[in-house]
């Protein structure tokens, strides 16, 4: 999930505020698939990714593309607008109550050495890792991937060598959105979700991406691990309602001390 955000930022230097809300839509789509079509989210996540890819493309082409060169304030406001629309559309469409997706895998558990492991979480983890690796390979091996990385390093330079930068931007945004859609689907059997949850997901994503470094894929991955550990520790020691406090406090600390992240380059 954070990988998607860092991709968008790295390539386009636009921060996607609507990230968490897109993920929530991913979750709801998975839910729809599960309840209406009986498709297990662990299979259906590909469809969710596809839908969100298209959504991402639309958002990018229609909206973000126009403001790539605009002052930062404008970009922020635009994405805030998108976030508002997405979040409240979900509210209107699905109602405010939390939902969860039933999956046959949910109930199964495994003994893995001394640990009691939830199969659902294991599958989620495995698939997420697989997707991350696939994305990494995509960026390293394919033409489009390489162009994206070039554009991330130096947008002007990429233009000069003839890369169709607009297409690259669109693809980056689309893929980023797809990642998030997949993430939403994969997580939907595990976490309860509701339209208002968009913000905390966005915050979690930002936390991860800023720690790992904006624009750095390995950083996002590492950041994800770090933040999850931190949050789990927090959940152990504090009451559940304060868990959110941990993520926000973490965000503040991270913002103050590491805006460039562990691996990344600093934002302009």
Partner 1 sequence: MRWLLAAALAVLLALPLVLSSYAVTVFIFIFFYAFLGQAWNIVGGYAGQLSAGHAAFVGIGAYASAVLSAQAGLTPWIGMLVGGALSAALGTLVGYLGFRFGLRGFYFVLLTVAFAEVCRIVALNTDAVGGALGYYITFTGNPRQFQFQDNRVYYYIALGLMLVATAVVAAIERRRFGAYLIAIREDESACEALGVNTFRYKMLAMVVSSFLTGVGGTFYAFYLFSLQPNSVFGIPLSVEIIIRPIVGGAGTVLGPILGSFILSPLAEAARVYLGQGGWSGAHLIAYGVLLIAVVLFLPQGAYPALRRLWLRPTPR
Residue 30 binding partner 1, by CB under 8 A: no
How far is the C-alpha of 130 from the C-alpha of 38, rounded, in Å? 24
Q: Are 87 and 183 contacting, i.e. CB atoms less than 8 angstroms apart?
A: no
Phi-psi sector, 203: left (phi>0), alpha (psi -120 to 50), beta:
alpha
Q: Whole-number minimum distance, CB 92 to partner 1, in Å?
A: 6
Residues 236-255 that bind partner 1 (CB under 8 A): 239, 241-242, 244-245, 248-249, 251-252, 255
Closest residue by Cα to residue 20 from 166, 186, 202, 204: 202
User: Which two tokens mark 36?
Assistant: 């209406």
Q: Which of 63, 159, 226, 230 binds partner 1 (CB under 8 A)?
A: 63
Number of residues that bind partner 1 (CB under 8 A): 44
**CB nearer to partner 1: pick between 129 and 242:** 242
**CB nearer to partner 1: pick between 114 and 241:** 241
Residue 195 binding partner 1, by CB under 8 A: yes
Q: What is the CA radius of gyration of the chain?
A: 18
Residue 167 binding partner 1, by CB under 8 A: no
Residue 262 binding partner 1, by CB under 8 A: no
Beta-bridge mates of residue 118 = 109
Q: Which of 53, 193, 206, 221 binds partner 1 (CB under 8 A)?
A: 206
Q: Which of 199, 226, 230, 262 binds partner 1 (CB under 8 A)?
A: 199
Taking CB atoms within 8 Å and a gap of at least 24, the contacts of 29-32 are 29/181, 29/184, 29/185, 30/101, 30/184, 30/185, 30/188, 31/99, 31/101, 31/188
**CB nearer to partner 1: pick between 13 and 146:** 13
Options 31-39, 85-93, 101-109, 139-147: segment touching partner 1 (CB under 8 A):
85-93
Q: Whole-number minimum distance, CB 61 to partner 1, in Å?
A: 13
Give, to the nearest 10 degrees, the angle between helix 41-62 and helix 19-37: 140
Closest residue by Cα to residue 264 from 200, 221, 202: 221
Residue 166 binding partner 1, by CB under 8 A: no
User: At a CB cut-off of 8 Å and minimum separation 6, what does 99 contact?
Assistant: 27, 28, 31, 192, 193, 194
Binding site residues, partner 1, CB under 8 A: 15, 63, 66-67, 70, 72-74, 76-78, 80-89, 91-92, 95-96, 195, 199, 203, 206, 210, 239, 241-242, 244-245, 248-249, 251-252, 255-257, 259, 267
């Amino acid at each position: 999930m954070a990988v998607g955000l860092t991709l968008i930022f790295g390539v386009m230097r636009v921060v996607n505020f609507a990230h968490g809300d897109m993920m929530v839509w991913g979750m709801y789509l998975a839910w729809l698939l599960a309840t209406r079509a009986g498709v297990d989210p662990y299979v259906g996540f590909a469809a969710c990714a596809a839908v969100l890819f298209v959504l991402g493309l639309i958002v990018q082409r229609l909206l973000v593309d126009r403001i790539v060169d605009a002052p930062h304030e404008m970009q922020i406001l635009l994405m805030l607008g998108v976030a508002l629309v997405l979040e409240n559309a979900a509210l209107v469409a699905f109602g405010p109550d939390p939902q969860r997706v039933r999956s046959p895998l949910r109930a199964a558990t495994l003994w893995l050495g001394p640990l009691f492991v939830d199969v659902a979480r294991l599958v989620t983890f495995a698939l997420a890792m697989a997707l991350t690796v696939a994305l990494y390979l995509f960026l390293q091996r394919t033409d489009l991937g390489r162009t994206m990385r070039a554009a991330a390093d130096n947008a002007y330079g990429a233009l000069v060598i003839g890369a169709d930068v607009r297409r690259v931007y669109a693809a980056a945004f689309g893929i980023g959105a797809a990642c998030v859609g997949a993430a939403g689907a994969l997580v939907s059997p595990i976490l309860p979700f509701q339209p208002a949850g968009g913000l905390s997901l966005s915050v979690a994503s930002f936390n991860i991406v800023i720690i790992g470094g904006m624009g750095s894929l390995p950083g996002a991955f590492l950041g994800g691990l770090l933040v999850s550990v931190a949050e789990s520790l927090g959940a152990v020691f504090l009451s559940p309602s304060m868990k959110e406090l941990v993520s926000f406090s973490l965000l503040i600390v991270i913002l103050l001390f590491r805006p460039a992240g562990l691996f990344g380059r600093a934002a302009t």
